[in-house]
């Protein structure tokens, strides 16, 4: 099959996973990794992974299937940065949905879902690893489903959809007057390179970098 992977942010950490997935499958499929919709060559499957560009119907029609990987249990959690919002709300399990891309964001039919747990000690890089591993599993599953002639199903009609807004830098600000135990859940999910947690104190702004120090060989 001719498969295209579209991730529109060259700095996104998922790119390392996509390169490995491409290498692993390249012998069986013709796989192209793109960072802009203008580069899309057409083919059998287009995967949209952390894609911030609008991929319109004309572009999607270059492919037999255009699929989105979205880190929420749709129809709940449509919109932006769903797993971050969910973890900030106290969730300890994240579901990733594989769905058909449509003009209306995150409304397409569902091909498959998979979930993973997020213990309270996990930091952003560990969370990313579980998230991206799950996304690659769903991409593998998508190929199998297409080869088998499977069909996606409509999102659950008895579940009211919910929506997350796009995060802004101010959403990463923490209050230095709060104890660390209360701030930890916010700090741990912030990417210190791209979206660092920060606080303002003494007329200055400080960013926060957090690392886990192994002590006894256990996570």
Check whether residue 10 and residue 66 sit in a common domain.
yes
Residue 219: pLDDT band with limits 50, 70, 90: low
Distance CA 110, CA 96 (A): 11
217 pLDDT higher than 70: no
List pLDDT tens digits, range 38-70: 999 999 999 999 999 999 999 999 999 999 999
Residue 218: pLDDT band with limits 50, 70, 90: low
Preceding amide of 92 cis, omega within 30: no
Tokens coding 170: 């101010």
Residue 157: pLDDT band with limits 50, 70, 90: confident
The residue range of the domain holding 69 is 2-164
DSSP 8-state assignment for residue 181: H
Question: Sign of the CA dihedral 75, 106, 138, 88?
Answer: negative
List pLDDT tens digits, range 165-196: 999 999 999 999 999 999 999 999 999 988 99
206: left (phi over 0), alpha (psi -120 to 50) or beta: beta
Check whether residue 139 and residue 183 sit in a common domain.
no
Check whether residue 131 and residue 176 sit in a common domain.
no
Residue 215 lies in a domain: no
Whether the full predicted model's pTM is greater than 0.85, yes or no, is: yes
Q: Give the model's pLDDT for residue 125.
A: 96
Q: Please give the tally of structural domains in the chain.
A: 2
List pLDDT tens digits, range 107-123: 999 999 999 999 999 99
Check whether residue 137 and residue 187 sit in a common domain.
no
Pairing of strands 43-48, 197-201: unpaired
Q: In 3D, which of 106, 127, 103, 104 has the Cα closest to residue 116?
A: 127
Q: Give the model's pLDDT for residue 215.
A: 77
């Amino acid at each position: 099959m001719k498969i295209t992977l579209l991730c529109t942010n060259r700095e996104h950490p998922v790119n390392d996973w996509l390169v490995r997935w491409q290498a692993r499958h390249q012998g069986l499929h013709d796989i192209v990794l793109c960072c802009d919709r203008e580069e899309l060559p057409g083919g059998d499957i287009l995967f949209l992974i952390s894609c911030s560009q609008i991929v319109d119907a004309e572009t999607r029609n270059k492919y037999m299937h255009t699929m989105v990987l979205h880190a929420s249990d749709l129809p709940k959690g449509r919109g932006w940065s769903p797993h971050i919002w969910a973890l900030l709300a106290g969730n300890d399990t994240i579901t990733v949905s594989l769905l058909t891309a449509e003009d209306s964001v995150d409304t397409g039919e569902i091909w498959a879902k998979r979930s993973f747990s997020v213990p309270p000690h996990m930091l952003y890089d560990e969370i990313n690893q579980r998230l991206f591993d799950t996304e690659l599993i769903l991409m593998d599953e998508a190929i199998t489903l297409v080869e088998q002639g499977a069909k996606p199903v409509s999102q659950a009609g008895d579940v009211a959809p919910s929506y997350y807004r796009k995060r802004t830098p101010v959403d990463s600000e923490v209050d230095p007057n709060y104890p660390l135990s209360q701030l930890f859940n916010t700090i741990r999910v912030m990417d210190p390179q791209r979206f660092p947690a920060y606080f303002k104190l003494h007329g200055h702004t400080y960013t926060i970098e957090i690392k886990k120090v192994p002590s006894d060989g256990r996570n």
